[in-house]
Structure 1
Amino acid sequence: MALHGLPMLFAGFAFFVLNLFLMPLPHHVYGQNDPPAIGLCDSSVRIHGYKCNEFQVTTQDGYILGLQRIPEGRSAGGDSANKPPVLLQHGVLVDGMVWLMNAPEQNLPMILADKGFDVWIANTRGTRFSRRHTYLQPNQSEFWNWPWDDLIAYDLPAVFDYVHNQTGQKLHYVGHSLGTLLALASFTEGLLVNQVKSAALLSPIAFLSHMKTAFDNAAAKAFAAEATAFFGMAEINPLGEAGQRFLKIVCAKPGVNCFNLLRAITGKNCCLNASAVDFFLKNELQSTATKNMVHLAQRQDALSDTEDVAQLLDDLKFHDVLKLTVQFVKDYAHADFVSGVNATDIVYSQVYKFFMNHHF
């Protein structure tokens, strides 16, 4: 796996699964053809005293993606034109809002902005801020005719190009869950590498051969085998009627215990507070393409396990060791990396230090 000596930080725990896939909780579904009336900036950034700008980026295949920018911290200082840009890419079934669950001093975008970075937040196609197309509508099946390969081919390059054109600089990258897979697949093909200074990958995905729970196994196998026929639709809303029916199928499998569904799916998150959970329940989950979920389930690239990450690191053994940093957080599960109340000290401080070590 050749990454051309790109500085990379890997942080991960034993496993995570599909970004809290199919939690049976209340969910507000935004309009089919229009973006939400209140953008991410107004709902979750400006209220804390930060500047924030909303942008729209059009991919080569016509999807119009929402992109937000926090150009500086609350105590702005220095030349804003020369602040290093950093792009945050979320995982599957959530959107850019997932980075903003906690208070400013506990969420990564605002921490980086306060430390002098020009922060950009991506939102993949189909999520609430990216439900537009140059000629297709979300109520058309063709709008949802894409796997995650298209996120690599179209979404990521469009956003990278836009940030680069706006800032004139290479960017730092932070990916979580699916956001790490997109980066690894792109970088190993030699795409976008020349536009990146460094990449921090939280719960990295590259291989999957070790599953930890009965729920994980049942969900992946059931989705791969039954999803397209079962849902009978191009869009999957995890908390819609079809999503709930699928959840019942998985929970009825032998050995699957869905009594504590959050723990069954994501593992035992150590460090979530009630306000972060409440924020999540009000804002996520998000829709994606059924084709995308089937593709992920067939590859089973939805989990990150210590042994699979070890295989990834073994493939990187010829990488420049001075440009590779690995962090293992023993007590963390999936959601802790984006919303753990102590992630500021345990994870984000290391991300900041890593970026500063490769700030060139």
Structure 2
Amino acid sequence: MEGKLGFGALILFCFIAILATQVDGALASFFPRKSASSSSPPDGICASSVIIHGYKCQELQVTTKDGYILSLQRIPQGRAEVGGSGANKKQPVIIQHGLIVDGLTWLINGPEQNLPLILADNGYDVWIANTRGTSYSRRHVSLDPSTPAYWNWSWDELVSYDLPAVFDYVYSQTGQKINYVGHSLGTLIALASFSEGNLVNQLKSAALLSPIAYLSHMKTALGVVAAKSFVGEITTILGVAEFNPKGNEPQATSTKTMVHLAQTVRRGILSKFNYERPDYNLMHYGEELPPIYNLSNIPHNLPLFISYGGQDALSDVLDVGNLLDILRSHDVDKLSVQFVKNYAHADFIMGFNAKDIVYNAVLAFFKRQFA
């Protein structure tokens, strides 16, 4: 970065830091601190967190249409199963993590308490996704993560490229419609995709935990002030492409994604990345303002399960209420809603009673789709 940061840039940096700690900050204490020279385990998530518990697990890779090589873990059967997996007869489930974490987050708790292994033990063919930029998904067919070009994306690209690549691969391998579980950012990119009619033909149902669609009532006041104060396009102001909060969370994302979230706070609507200059937006979208993700376009007969918490500082009750209001025309028998009064954002991943309160409800929701 050259020169001194202006006041607007400093405000933005404050927001980015605050938002990063708010999104999944409670998870940080569950990861060991890494030295500057340390790296991710070479054997991958399967070896470190699945196989050691007695489950079969496959490390796979999927390449997106824009060249990013994503890591994908498949858990084809439960621990008690013997012989062949019979996975081709099972219902596939894709599990998508949130912001500044990766698929390993789902496996923090023991095998009796984490969602992927609970699903596997209940007869599902489980696929854990890892978005671009995270430890096991830092490869590209031509770009290097050390270059700004690699990080020139926001969560729009997760909607347009990452999710479709994973869905296409899982569908090609199983030949069956897919159940989906997302947490935090994993719900945002799913909702945005569904609103554009994407993935829905391959989708059986979707469970959204701590859903993120609107951020206007985020409880972190300073973060809201910072987001609303930011004006300008990130690469020209900061000259930074990778957002890597070392010492806070173990995973990197693009700074452009953080700015995109800031824009969601500031504008109060869900839209594609705003380049802040009409000519730039015109070049990218053919319009002077970025297109809106219209969530009311989500098919009304798509089975949805939404679970949110009363103590969630990011997925605020009022913002979830706005989402539910937009879904008011959804078929009544296709929308299930769960409110957990004492749950905060990270409890949906690492809560000691998440199995009993949330995961059992997810299982019941999936099973109802067979009725």
Identify whether the pair has TM-score above 0.5, normalized to the shorter chain. yes
RCO greater where, 1 or 2, for CA within 8 Å and sep 6 or more?
1
Shift of 1:112: 0.3
Partners in 2 of 1:299 and 1:153 — Cα distance? Answer: 18
Partners in 2 of 1:308 and 1:92 — Cα distance? Answer: 18
SS in 2 for 1:64: strand
Shift of 1:29: 7.3
Partners in 1 of 2:222 and 2:183 — Cα distance? Answer: 21
How big is each residue's C-alpha offset from its partner over 1:315-343, in whole Å with a ceiling of 9 and x where there is no partner? 11111110100000000001100010100
How big is each residue's C-alpha offset from its partner over 1:214-254, in whole Å with a ceiling of 9 and x where there is no partner? 344356457777965775321111126xxxxxxxxxxxxxx
2:23 and 2:345 in contact (8 A); partners too: no
Aligned to 2:47: 42
1:99 and 1:107 in contact (8 A); partners too: yes
Amino acid at match of 1:318: S
How big is each residue's C-alpha offset from its partner over 1:201-226, in whole Å with a ceiling of 9 and x where there is no partner? 00111222212233443564577779
**TM-score (structure 1 length as normaliser):** 0.77
Find 1:319's aligned residue among 321, 326, 330.
Answer: 330
- Alpha-carbon distance change, 354 to 156 in structure 1, aligned in 2, over 3 angstroms: same
Aligned to 2:160: 153
1:54 and 1:68 in contact (8 A); partners too: yes
Percent of matched pairs sharing the same residue: 62
Partners in 2 of 1:223 and 1:162 — Cα distance? Answer: 39
SS in 2 for 1:327: strand
Find 1:67's aligned residue among 72, 80, 84.
Answer: 72
Aligned to 1:98: 105
Aligned to 1:137: 144
**TM-score (structure 2 length as normaliser):** 0.75
Aligned to 1:331: 342
- Alpha-carbon distance change, 203 to 95 in structure 1, aligned in 2, over 3 angstroms: same
Partners in 1 of 2:93 and 2:356 — Cα distance? Answer: 19
- Alpha-carbon distance change, 36 to 112 in structure 1, aligned in 2, over 3 angstroms: same
Partners in 1 of 2:53 and 2:75 — Cα distance? Answer: 12
Aligned to 2:24: 19
Amino acid at match of 2:258: M
Aligned to 2:284: none
Partners in 1 of 2:33 and 2:148 — Cα distance? Answer: 22
Shift of 1:81: 2.0
- Alpha-carbon distance change, 50 to 222 in structure 1, aligned in 2, over 3 angstroms: farther
How big is each residue's C-alpha offset from its partner over 1:32-79, in whole Å with a ceiling of 9 and x where there is no partner? 9x9751200001000000000000000000000000000000011683
Aligned to 2:275: none
Where does structure 1 lack aligned partners over 5 or more consecutive residues? 1-15, 241-280
- Alpha-carbon distance change, 321 to 35 in structure 1, aligned in 2, over 3 angstroms: same
- Alpha-carbon distance change, 224 to 115 in structure 1, aligned in 2, over 3 angstroms: farther
Aligned to 1:11: none
Aligned to 2:115: 108
Where does structure 2 lack aligned partners over 5 or more consecutive residues? 1-20, 271-312
Aligned to 1:298: 263
CA RMSD of aligned residues (A): 2.7
Matches within 5 A, 1:237-316: 237-239=244-246, 284-300=249-265, 303-316=314-327
Aligned to 2:96: 89
Shift of 1:140: 0.9
